[in-house]
Amino acid sequence: MRFDQHTLVLFSRPADAPELPRDAADLLHDTHLAHQAGLVEQGLVLAAGPFVDPDDPSLRGLAVLPISPDEARELYANDPAVRAGQLVVRVASWLVPEGNVRYESVGVPRSMLEAAAGD
């Protein structure tokens, strides 16, 4: 059997994340979303999104990439929320039977306002 290999990036909030004023946290969240959207537009991210009601409240989201784990680590080292200490990433390779998972190109929000609009 043949397998497709993807890279998974798991986002979590570290226990020692610095506290930010609400407006600064909102701005940082928007810059994180814009960074993610830019990676999607470049074809470097196949799918990404936040978790809702995870068992571990530090878990924030997941991204699936068609690149190597080292390349993914490098990309997310430049994520504004990672640089600010609000998120940490864990990276792993994921093997699935060839053709089992397919991704379609869809737009992603570049800000919380755009995400809330639902368009």
High-pLDDT (> 70) share of the chain, %:
98
How much is the average pLDDT of 81-99? 96
Q: pTM for this one?
A: 0.88
How much is the average pLDDT of 15-26? 95
- What pLDDT score does 74 carry? 96
Q: How far is CA 33 from the centre of its chain?
A: 8
How many residues in the chain?
A: 119
